[in-house]
Amino acid sequence: MSNIDSPQYLSSKDIGVLKKTLVSFAIDTSKDKRIGQPYFQNNEQWEFFYLYFKKHAEEDIKKICSNIISNHKEIKKTIFFDAIYDIFQRNVFYAIFRGEFTAVALKTEKFDDGSMAIDLAPRKVGLDTFIKYSDDLAIPIVEHINQQIANKISFYKNHRVITWVPVTNLRIDKDVCFEFANVSFISKECPALTENFVKWVKMDKFRDGERTMLRDSGNFAIIKFEGCSAPKAIFDLSRPYFNKVFGVLRLLLDWAEVEGELIGTKQSLETEYTVIYSESSHDNSTMTAVMPEINSDFFIARNEYWIRCPIISSKSIEQISNSPNLKATNALLERAYNSKSTSLDSKIFDSLFWYSESLKHFTTPHKLVGFVTALETILTSNKLTEGFYDKSISEMFSERGAIVLCDSYEDRLEMKRKLKGIYRIRSILVHGSGTGSISDSEITDAHHLATGILLGVIDLANKENISSVEELNDYFQKVLLS
């Protein structure tokens, strides 16, 4: 009796799993004698409910949500998974658990209360009702879920949220905007910055010059997401995407520009990062993220509040704009922005994490270990004992790095020796004794090699249409055997 014109997001297989899961959940939960007790208040109800939901339904519902998203391309996975999951958990399971699920009764005598027919009338459904009429209630429940998902997609289809994050190292003229990979960098006065900063740090008053310094520090990275489900989804999307953009920018900038970002600034974009405000296109509302309380000293607070990004100046903008790798890096970030990163993309971003981590260290051993770890992440395979890949990590590391950087046999042979040398130094530092003696030239070499190989792999993936780690492994095998 389903409405054929209503949207259909659940497959017949998923409907079967959902019904079976609901029945087992309802039967087991209804047996608990705590239900209906006077002390059974809201907080206790949710904790009690979640224990049974986790036991009977959580994994099945996650799989159903994944199936819905994979079968309907208009749904963005990263943004909508939590929203769809919430429909099942709260709007169906928890509503039935509380006896508050509203279903339209089917045309059947089973729903006759003895005095009058209630066909097609709204009816509250709880655990006992569902257990008794589960076969008949499956249809209205599925229709309810389909409609709820359709409502979410429709409501958020044109929803736009713009998030402003304060950053350091922006050295461009006021009101000049630099656009890169869906992020806008702009130096602009923002009264909300001072207001929110003061609230967050809980300062009683500013000392001389501090308010002026704060006013003059209006440097922002701004990101816009469309088709968004909730503010939390925006924050969850923005944080890793900013990190990816900053990592790619560091690849495209020269050594001096990257080194300069280290002085007196926040070392990395932490899990709980700060947001000045977000603008919602639905109601023009503004939101401020929850901010942890920190030391009220102005300079300590300022270095915690602003996020360190690579130095963006007129020189670096020109360097980035003229980079031969720009097309490939833009494609990489565009996939990340649209939640369509490939397995190889994920490997590249893992490597970029270690690359960026090495830049924040002032000691040369940590720098070298970070650069080599970045290369090991992208160049080596986990399948070291399968056929062709039955070789040492050092051998695979140096061979593949040489293939990426060089074309001729002679150049690759020389580069392989150089990469083996860098890897040997890393092994001594990690597994040997002491920090050893590392020259500035060895650090510079490691940095240039890491930069060149990472950019080389990104370009290679773009030119050869390589999207998975397995395809990259196959490419290296083909080159080595040709």
Q: How does pLDDT run across 399-421, given as a tens digit for each residue? A: 999 999 999 999 999 999 999 99
Q: How far is CA 463 from CA 38, 183, 336, 467, in A?
A: 67, 25, 18, 11
Residues with Cβ within 8 Å of 49's Cβ and at least 6 positions away in sequence, in order, are 29, 93, 94, 97
Residues of the chain above pLDDT 70, percent = 66
Cβ–Cβ < 8 Å for 324, 315: no
In the chain, what is the straight-line distance between the N-terminal and C-terminal CA atoms, in Å? 62
Residue 463 has pLDDT above 70, yes or no: yes
Q: What is the dihedral of CA 378, 384, 389, 392, to 10 degrees?
A: 80
Q: What is the mean pLDDT of the chain?
A: 76
Q: Using 50, 70 and 90 to split pLDDT, how confident is the model at 277?
A: very low
**Which residue reads 């998974």 in tokens?**
81
Buried b (16+ CB within 10 A) or exposed e, 267-283: eebeeebbbbbbbbeee
Phi-psi region of 50 (alpha: psi -120 to 50; beta: other; left: phi over 0): alpha
Selection from 426, 401, 417 nearest residue 479 by Cα: 401
Residue 391: CB atoms within 10 A of its CB come to: 12
302 vs 447, more confident: 447
Residue 55 has pLDDT above 80, yes or no: yes
Q: According to the model, what pLDDT value does residue 286 have? A: 43
- Whether the full predicted model's pTM is greater than 0.95, yes or no, is no
Residues with Cβ within 8 Å of 384's Cβ and at least 6 positions away in sequence, in order, are 390, 391, 393, 396
Which of 129-138, 208-217, 235-244 has the highest mean predicted lDDT (pLDDT)? 129-138
Cβ–Cβ < 8 Å for 316, 169: no
